[in-house]
Structure 1
Amino acid sequence: MKLVKKVAAYMLFASVLLVGAASCSKESDNHEAEIEAVQLKEPVSLGNAAISGVKITIYVSKDADATKLSPVFKLSSGATISPKNGSTQDFTNPVKYVVTSEDKAVTREYEVSVRREAMLSNPFDSWEKKPADASSDNSIYYTPTNSDWSTANIGNVLLRGLGYNVKNTVDQTEDAFQGAKAAIIRTEFVSDKPVFGQNTPIATGSLFLGSFTTLHLMTDPLKCTSFGVPITRKPLSVSGYYKYLPGDKLTDENFTVIPNGKDSCAIYAVVFTGTEPLNGRNVLTDSRIIAKAVLKGGKQPVYTKFDLVLDYKRDVVPGENLMFTIVCSSSWDGNIFKGAVGSTLFVDDIKVTTKNI
């Protein structure tokens, strides 16, 4: 009997050890479900992918085939991913990936998208009608063809739809320095009464590298402009040709004439870090800016060459995420709704000089 009791006690002790060992093993399993880095099997990557929370952007060359790309993800220790890591996917639209932690307790969904290398230089010879199927002249505007250059024209279209007689602030023109066409950028009248509860008497024309969203049009229109495109080379300088005819009467945000005031145009280039664009409130002041070059121009009736050399506050760090914008504006203080209706800026043949980082 004593022998039986000893054997039973030994077996109980052994089982406790096994359960304890199993418990320790499970407790040691990693509960993180993170994507830490991304690389492509194909030789079309332009450097580090941008990981911002659960959104990942992979930058590829202009000739990359986005329908057949095979990203390889570095995951948290022991984690798994679906679709299968390294499998070929069609990135015409963003692809959803689900990461599961080693202990199976945590899952996290990521959205992975592909973005081609930005086209920085532009001769502004080719423009396209938007929307392509527009049936009303009131809804038509033009934008540079197949490029990363944007305007606020869609905002002007929406304002017209709400009854404001505002003209498009950016258009194509045959009055070019060279080539078939150039860009013409104007400051236009909106209303001498508040628009959406804000004093916005004028719409300043802006042609820029980036995108425009109507999301904030009624609440904070300066945030509608998303300035910046991702870059993998270091911009050194920006050149081009411009002429400028300021409007007759400079007015403030209340549409009050400023005695003896003269409008000025703005052409500037900005390099900044991160993956989030700048906007009309911080494009020249944000703490992420590491280089900029600015031209503030008065009346210039004939095309004149400009050369902007970027002044860097510090060296570019290899591997850091960089963005770049060029902004051409018909009124220097348009961001505070100060300008002259009729101010007109012509811009042609912008070229950006870059070098490897």
Structure 2
Amino acid sequence: MRLNKLFILYSLLGILITSCIQDEAPNAEADITGISFETDILANSYIDLNPSYDEVLNAYPIQINVKEGTDVTNLSPMFELTPGATINPASGSNQDFTTSVFYTVTSADKKWQRTYSISVREQKASNIPTVFHFENVRLIKGISSTNDPEKELYYHEFYEKQNEEELTWASGNKGFNWAASNSKTADYPTVQYENGKVGKCVKLETRLTGSLGNMVGMPIAAGNLFIGSFNMQNAITSPLSATRFGTPFYNKPIRLTGYYKYKAGDRFYENGEYTSRKDIYNIYAIFYDGVAYDNDGKAIDVTLDGNLPNENYQHESMVALALVSNPHETNDWEFFDIPFDYQRYGKKIDETKLANGEYKIGIIFASSKDGATFEGAPRSTLLIDEVELIYE
């Protein structure tokens, strides 16, 4: 039954993409599917090859993090492409990545092209922003947008700047855009909201995904916001692994604080029907060892994902967990202060690995605690504002 659903889903997706193709619209025949280098220069082995289209750049931006000290003026990235596709500049050619380099991929039948803006950044020993006000959003154009300004459809992407550092938050908005592509900005699960604790805030709301989501047993989408990345390639076949948590962090986190409001939806959806179960939100942060080593001593990047809560937050790489206790509804802004529990895993921090950025931090908010397994109450709403990650 699941295979039949997936067949229908992929068929509909193909029709949808074909009907929405514009000059730079997504096309499966003109994709970069892999990037590698001859030497070990990557600071993080994961590269998001499915970015949202950037209207300012007129391209799909890909960011590559390399180790500190890498000479970015003379790099020769090698590209894997969809069968028969070509790329210009050529794969393996030397390029100066002091500024972004634009690559154009042309499909095998020469009918489609896709332009990528590839930037390379040294992963220096400095932290991400640790105070979050949720005042900054980018408007990301959805797949149902047109050249008619009155019919352009966008969703929000949150980012935070602190000193010279910038952090872009991830969410499931990209997946919801595929399932409910005609939605207005305010109808997405993760949006900016005017009435925050101070200024604006983020609103996370569990939403119905419509007929397309129902068809494959994904009837709801919880509002979520997290430090990490969303892998659209896994969103259909392995949704729990689509949410990839964490980014390098160079200090020991102590507490996570902030303000929230929460109202549960009226009817809880699970196992194909509505029940009397009460929905509840989730707020947690994870600190874990982001590098493992194989038998030959080769470093392997570790990234934890949405499976973690279902495994009671147990993983061999986990070092500390900050998990909200006694989650409940509140009509007024309520302060939370969650300590990181290091005793839970009984591990000591390796100061050398910490200085090298081998540990990762992830902060996760969700309007439905079990939304990742498509259980929750539509209209459950979590507001979050003035968050701070406290560290030593």
What TM-score range do you get, normalising by the shorter chain?
0.5 to 0.7
* Deviation at residue 336 of structure 1 after TM alignment: 1.6
- RMSD over aligned CA atoms reads 3.9
* Deviation at residue 253 of structure 1 after TM alignment: 3.7
User: Partners in 1 of 2:308 and 2:123 — Cα distance?
Assistant: 24
State the TM-score, normalizing by the size of structure 1: 0.66
Cα gap change, 1:253/1:202 in structure 2, threshold over 3 Å: closer, same or farther? Answer: farther
CA contact (8 A) 2:287 2:359 kept: yes
Local SS of the residue matching 1:215: helix
Amino acid at match of 2:168: D
Equivalent in 298, 311, 320 of residue 341 of structure 2: 311
User: Partners in 2 of 1:171 and 1:233 — Cα distance?
Assistant: 30
Structure 1 unaligned regions, length at least 5: 1-33, 39-48, 72-81, 95-110
2:97: which partner in 1?
Answer: 90
Amino acid at match of 1:250: F
User: Partners in 1 of 2:324 and 2:318 — Cα distance?
Assistant: 17
User: Partners in 2 of 1:143 and 1:333 — Cα distance?
Assistant: 23
Cα gap change, 1:166/1:239 in structure 2, threshold over 3 Å: closer, same or farther? Answer: closer
1:46-125 pair list within 5 angstroms: 50=43, 57-58=65-66, 90=97, 92=99, 114-115=122-123, 117-125=127-135
Is it true that 1:271 corresponds to 2:287 in the alignment?
yes
* Deviation at residue 319 of structure 1 after TM alignment: 2.6
Is it true that 1:258 corresponds to 2:271 in the alignment?
no
Equivalent in 239, 242, 249 of residue 267 of structure 2: 249
Structure whose CA Rg is larger: 1
1:295-306 pair list within 5 angstroms: 295=324, 297-306=327-336
Identical amino acids, percent of aligned pairs: 24
Amino acid at match of 2:307: R
Cα gap change, 1:279/1:59 in structure 2, threshold over 3 Å: closer, same or farther? Answer: same
User: Partners in 2 of 1:145 and 1:136 — Cα distance?
Assistant: 26
Aligned length: 276
Amino acid at match of 1:218: I
Local SS of the residue matching 1:157: helix
1:182-331 pair list within 5 angstroms: 182-191=201-210, 195=213, 198-254=216-272, 256-259=273-276, 261-274=277-290, 275-282=301-308, 284-295=313-324, 297-312=327-342, 313=345, 314-320=347-353, 321-331=358-368
Cα gap change, 1:298/1:173 in structure 2, threshold over 3 Å: closer, same or farther? Answer: same
User: Partners in 2 of 1:303 and 1:265 — Cα distance?
Assistant: 15
Local SS of the residue matching 2:384: strand
Amino acid at match of 2:122: V
Cα gap change, 1:202/1:281 in structure 2, threshold over 3 Å: closer, same or farther? Answer: same
State the TM-score, normalizing by the size of structure 2: 0.60
